[in-house]
């Protein structure tokens, strides 16, 4: 079973993930209408590019935008959760040992104590995100079982990996469950709201181009609509 989930099934999961996110990004861009979406593709590309880069950059910086500063507690939870989700699995020592074993390369790694801290932070932040959806009426009214399922899919690899690493119960069971949970998350990303992993950059670039050209960057100048 271990050989299967770390071999053919892993290849399948990564293939679906990479092909899926590329297709989602391409479809997003192809689906834009420059008149309806106010994205001037051909006109003033330098202003558009600067606006896109600026928009992405400030939304990637904690408290870099007014929206981040308006909800400071949510901002901290959001960045802890997403930083841990992305940084931990990429630089985890065990994962890179597997990369070297299976595919002949590895990345720099973080220490096991740091990985533990990040893993616990992701799980705690995820719990608070769930409680937020339950406690706040304006969020609860928009929340469905689907949203809870996505949070569970995101947290499951961290919980099962933590249990496996610390040999809580049956190590082999938790190890295989951890690998399967990670592969389920990879496969789910292109087909669910988790696709914001890549579509965030597309939408922020689109809005940044809008503001960089139409709503400030070239305000009062001759604009092509």
Alpha-helical segments (H) within 61-144: 66-70, 72-91, 93-103, 112-135, 137-140
> Phi and psi for 110 in degrees, rounded to 5?
-100, 160
State the pLDDT at residue 180: 93
Residue-wise pLDDT tens digits, 125-183: 999 989 988 988 888 898 889 999 999 999 999 999 999 988 888 888 999 899 999 99
Question: 50 is written with which tokens?
Answer: 């600067």
Top-level class of domain 2-28+44-214: mainly alpha
- Paired with 110 in beta bridges are 92
Q: Could you give the CA distance from residue 81 to residue 119 in angstroms, rounded to a whole number?
A: 9
Token couple for 106: 């590895």
Instruction: With both helix axes pointing from N to C terminus, report the angle between 171-188 and 8-30 in degrees, rounded to the nearest 10.
Output: 20
Q: For the CA atoms of the chain, what is the radius of gyration?
A: 20
Q: What is the pLDDT of residues 68-86, one digit of tens each?
A: 888 888 888 889 989 999 8
């Amino acid at each position: 079973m271990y050989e299967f989930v770390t071999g053919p099934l892993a290849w399948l999961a990564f293939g679906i993930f990479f092909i899926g996110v590329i297709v989602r990004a391409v479809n997003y861009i192809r689906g834009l209408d420059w008149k309806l979406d106010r994205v001037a593709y051909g006109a003033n590309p330098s202003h558009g590019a600067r606006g896109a880069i600026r928009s992405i950059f400030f939304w990637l910086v904690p408290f870099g935008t007014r929206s981040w500063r308006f909800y400071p507690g949510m901002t901290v939870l959001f960045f802890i959760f997403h930083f841990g989700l992305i940084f931990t699995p990429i630089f985890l020592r065990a994962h890179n040992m597997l990369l070297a074993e299976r595919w002949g390369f590895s990345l720099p790694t973080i220490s096991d104590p740091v990985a533990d801290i990040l893993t616990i932070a992701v799980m705690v932040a995820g719990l608070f995100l769930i409680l937020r959806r339950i406690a706040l009426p304006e969020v609860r009214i928009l929340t469905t079982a689907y949203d809870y399922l996505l949070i569970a899919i995101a947290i499951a690899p961290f919980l099962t990996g933590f249990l496996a690493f610390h040999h809580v119960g049956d190590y082999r069971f938790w190890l295989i469950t951890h690998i399967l949970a990670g592969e389920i998350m990879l496969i789910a990303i292109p087909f669910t709201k988790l696709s914001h992993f890549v579509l965030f950059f597309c939408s922020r670039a689109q809005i940044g181009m809008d503001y960089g050209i139409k709503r400030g960057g070239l305000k009062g100048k001759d604009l092509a609509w």
